[in-house]
Amino acid sequence: MEENMSYSEDDLIMLSALQHFIFCPRQCALIHIEQVWAESRLTAEGRIMHERVHEEGNESRGDLRIARGLPLRSLRLGLVGVADVVEFQRISKDVLQPFPVEYKRGKPKPDHSDMVQLCAQALCLEEMLNIEVPCGALFYGRTKHRHDTLFDDALKTEVERTAQGARELIVSGHTPEPVYGKRCESCSLVAECLPKTISRRKSAKRYLAGIVRDT
């Protein structure tokens, strides 16, 4: 991504698209291109968790300020979204240090999707507030545990590459063909995506094409 590139307000994509893109580019396209969404028990639980967090409102505890449902934006990365929680710790008379906290319904994932989403929020805060945001945390509802996350250069680079990949996919307007895998069983869009059915149809088509080609 070019360092000096800046997107307009109309060109911003949702922060959530980064996590969707890492999980499955087809899921990302179904949600952000085709506007397909299906509520499952898991997504409903996640939505309710986020709503409860946001409804608690802002608060102050000594030198700590807690903002909930904070709007975020980065014109450099072309991202827009909302942070579940941002804790602002006073480190001097005129300086509050932001610490984003993202709430997740389940447990830590084997990929970097949650960390990428959280780090993207930090990069938005850095651009908006002109202050470095070195770390944040992920809170998982299933384990009731908060995992601190360091935003190192490798993770920031992964955020930029993911943002670029998600943007290119969304701008293309093309939804990738399904590739069935274990992840499909946990996807709320499996009934809309039909990865097994479409994959079988494509396999049969290739098989018949091969027969015709060999005769």
Whole-number pLDDT of residue 212: 47
Whole-number pLDDT of residue 199: 54
User: How many domains in the chain?
Assistant: 2
Whole-number pLDDT of residue 201: 52
Whole-number pLDDT of residue 93: 87
Same domain, 112 and 123: yes
Backbone angles phi, psi at 152, to 5 degrees: -85, 175
Same domain, 152 and 66: yes
Burial annotation 6-32 (CB, 10 A radius, 16+ → b, else e)? ebeeeebbbbbbbbbbbbbbbbbbbbb
Whole-number pLDDT of residue 211: 47
Whole-number pLDDT of residue 85: 95
- Which tens digit of pLDDT belongs to each residue from 136-188? 999 998 898 999 999 999 999 999 999 999 999 999 999 998 887 788 877 77
Same domain, 159 and 200: no
- Full domain range(s) for residue 194: 177-215
First to last CA, the chain: 49
Instruction: Note whether residue 2 is domain-resident.
Output: no
Residue ranges in the chain whose pLDDT is less than 50: 1-3, 203-209, 211-212
Same domain, 44 and 21: yes
Same domain, 64 and 143: yes
Whole-number pLDDT of residue 203: 46
Same domain, 199 and 149: no
Whole-number pLDDT of residue 194: 80
The neighbouring-strand residues paired with 20 are none
Same domain, 103 and 91: yes
Quote the pTM value.
Answer: 0.81
